[in-house]
Chains A and B, each alone.
Chain A
Amino acid sequence: MPDMEMINALMNKVIKSDREILYPSESDAVLDYYKIPQPKWMTTGNNVEQAVQAAEQIGFPIALKLISPDILHKSDAGCVKLDLNNSPEVEHACHDILEKAAHAHKTPRIEGFLIQEMVKEGHEVIIGLAQDVTFGMIIVFGLGGIFVEILKDVAIRKVPITPADAMDMIEEIKGYKILKGARGKVVANIDLLKDMLLKVSQMGMEQKQITELDFNPVFVDSHRALVADSRIILKG
């Protein structure tokens, strides 16, 4: 298990290397330290063969993502492929992602591929941190997709939050009824969401170098809440 010293060293290393966004392996260490669960995943270098092997090891279906510090919005750039069911699909997707990356950026640095267990069950929620000009570090919670992006249906607090604050945040969003299983949807485990909000709040208190953090999406169903994609950005 990573300890605080290791996390600090990791953050300092990233800042010194003039990079703002953490690589998946670094985010993984931070999430591990805070005991925030993720789907199974592996990274490989820029090597299609290795990516296929990793996918076989994790088991299909998988999600495939490009690792590049130059492409921030990976989905928008076409550098994320979901629901790949066999090795030929993975191989094809790797080539396609590399092609898309070349369109998105003149000379993208390609660190490799992230291969992740495909989680489809449950609700998609977003949990994040940001620096507010008035209040300092704030924590944000909402349902994923259009709920946050278009409807702005979010709950916001200043960190640190209390367990009651976490509960209020979850109950406050209009989408709460959906999490509770409206229209035959799976019932989300509210305790796990609460727990994750508290852990992210603690991270916001302890990791002062973080300027923005997005867990998007977090998949939550009745028995687990997993961070399927994380983006941690440090002060430049």
Chain B
Amino acid sequence: MKHENNLLNNFFYPKSVAIVGASADPKKSGNALVKNYLDYGFKGEIYPINPKADEILGLKAYSSIRTVLRDIDLVVFAVPAKVVVKVIEDCASKNVKAVVVHSFGFAESGPEGKGYQDRLVAVARESNIKVVGPNCQGVMCVDSKLPWSRRSTFPEQAGHVSVISQSGGGGGSFVNLADVRGIKFSKIVTIGNECDASVMDFIQYFGDDPQTRTLFLFLEGFRDGERILDVVRPASVNMPIIAYKTGRTAVGAKAAASHTGSFAGSIEVYDGVFKQTGIIRAESLDDGLDYLVAFENLWFGDKQIQGYRVGIVSGPGGPGVAAADAMVESGLSVPPIAEASKQRLKEAIPGATAANPMDMGDFSLVGKLKEEGPYSSMSRIMSEDQNIDILVVIGPGEFNPEGFRDELYNIKRFCEKPLIVIWPSAGGNVETCKKELREADFALFDTQERGARALGAVKRYDSLRSRIKREVEGA
């Protein structure tokens, strides 16, 4: 099946959207929803549905789905559950392909809501309508300028990271945090009650989506975990999948008659199955953000990763040693440099430490950072060393951050190997420079440990991917 023909495509690239519960009253959420489509500049037709209004925010309003005489690809619901189950019948007769149900009051609320949800699913299945939700924040697509509900800011520039979140709030705050780290998104879907389209369905969709190259899961659990080997193994050959799993401590502890049985339902099962399918688990949200930076800027960076031997370059000695420790602890190697490199360094900076990690020796040189300064000299020698695959540059404390930034731009121009910047400093001009570097797609981390863990995650993915690729292609 071609990707464009995947039914889930209608959630992201609908040619027309009907908004059920659209309102002319600026105080109502149904008004903000329509306004979001207009403000974001949605590239398609918008049909506000409201039996009592003629016009909403300058758009012609329709009394019902049935009175819209054109095709409707996507219907968005912001009305109570008991109204949703009536209007879904109209959607069926109008041949609608996809619906997003923001409304709550379904299965999460009790038996009555469960009845509404069952009704919704029954009609949708019968009419081949895909449903996202209910009880969710919906879908966002930066390409088609399809806005997320209940938010007022949307990314302008499309990127290549897509997100599946079961929690609307959790997904939302994650996107804000990632935005500050310079991550650019393609698509975001919040699943809510997952009554129809599942996390697994969307993993499959994103695995074939040409715009998505990295997938982030804000995951509570899988509803259809039985499918994971068939769906996720091929998907993770196509894209790195990072999962932040919540509910780790709510172990399904049941009395088991065997030792093996006592492990069922535990987080260890997720860990094992993630390894089996190539999913990289982020143990914390911080890790998740760092991993995204590493995948976006290193795995998909402009220089291909050829190996995982790192060469560390630092101003002062201590932070370089700390970086070496962190790298080794994360499964990377920090090999000695070649004799020739040592000679070159002695000629370039006589007092420098000619080893890996490499440092300036005389720290007053930091005052002399400029476009082709000491960091550039050391980086040139380190990155040209045959024992080194990845260059790691450690930023100085507080002196001359602009000088360091300029050196980094220079290093990025000549360095033919992947580059990681670790800048364990903060405040004032350092922050300004960091922001600028993040926007320029540097793989930038605040501490040695975070940078090392992120690079370790890339290495893990690389090796899992090679193995799964062999098996998937061999099968």
Interface residue ranges, A against B (CB under 8 Å): 20-21, 72, 126, 128-136, 138, 140, 148-149, 152, 154-158, 160-162, 164-165, 168-169, 172, 211-214, 216, 231, 233
Contact = CB atoms under 8 A, between A and B. Distances in A.
Contacts of A158: 228-229, 272-273, 276
How many chain B residues sit at the interface, stated as a range, is: 20 to 34
Contacts of B229: 158, 160
A134 B221 contact: yes
Given A158-B276, A162-B471, A165-B276, A131 B264 contact: yes
Nearest to A213: B260
Contacts of B471: 162, 164
Nearest to A169: B272
B226 A126 contact: no
B257 A138 contact: no
Chain B facing A: main interface SS = helix
Interface in B399-452: none
A208 to B, nearest CB: 12
Contacts of B272: 138, 155-158, 169
Interface in B266-306: 268-273, 275-276
Contacts of A211: 261
A157 B263 CA distance: 11
Interface of B: 221-222, 225-226, 228-229, 252, 256-261, 263-265, 268-273, 275-276, 467, 470-471
Q: Of A134, A155, A165, A213, which is in contact with the most chain B CB atoms at under 10 Å from its CB?
A: A134
12 contacts: A129-B260, A133-B252, A135-B225, A135-B228, A138-B273, A149-B259, A152-B263, A157-B272, A158-B229, A158-B273, A164-B467, A214-B261
Contacts of B260: 126, 128-130, 140, 212-214
B269 A132 contact: yes
B258 A231 contact: yes
A126 B269 CA distance: 16
Nearest to B263: A140
Chain A facing B: main interface SS = strand
Given A135-B228, A158-B273, A158-B276, A152 B268 contact: yes
A158 B269 CA distance: 8
A138 B269 contact: yes
Contacts of B221: 134
Given A128-B260, A212-B260, 8 more contacts: A20-B257, A130-B261, A138-B269, A165-B276, A212-B261, A214-B261, A216-B258, A231-B257
A135 B273 contact: yes
A135 B257 contact: no
Contacts of A138: 263-264, 269, 272-273
A182 to B, nearest CB: 21
A129 B258 CA distance: 9
Given A156-B269, A157-B276, A162-B471, A134 B261 contact: no
A129 B292 CA distance: 35
Contacts of A160: 229
A132 B470 CA distance: 27
B274 to A, nearest CB: 10
Pairs of residues from A and B, 6 with the lowest C-beta to C-beta distance, nearest first: A128-B260, A156-B272, A134-B225, A214-B258, A212-B261, A130-B264
B281 to A, nearest CB: 13
Given A135-B225, A135-B226, A162-B471, A214 B269 contact: no
Contacts of B225: 132, 134-136
A164 B470 CA distance: 10
A133 B271 contact: no
Nearest to A161: B276
Nearest to A132: B264
A26 B471 CA distance: 35
A6 to B, nearest CB: 25
B269 to A, nearest CB: 5
B226 A136 contact: yes
A212 B258 contact: yes
Contacts of B276: 157-158, 161, 165, 168
A213 B176 CA distance: 46
Contacts of A164: 467, 470-471
A133 to B, nearest CB: 5
A212 B263 CA distance: 11
A155 B259 CA distance: 13
Given A138-B269, A156-B272, A128 B258 contact: yes
B272 to A, nearest CB: 3
Contacts of B257: 20-21, 72, 212, 231, 233
A233 B258 contact: yes
A157 B278 CA distance: 12
B384 to A, nearest CB: 35
A132 B228 contact: no
Nearest to A134: B225
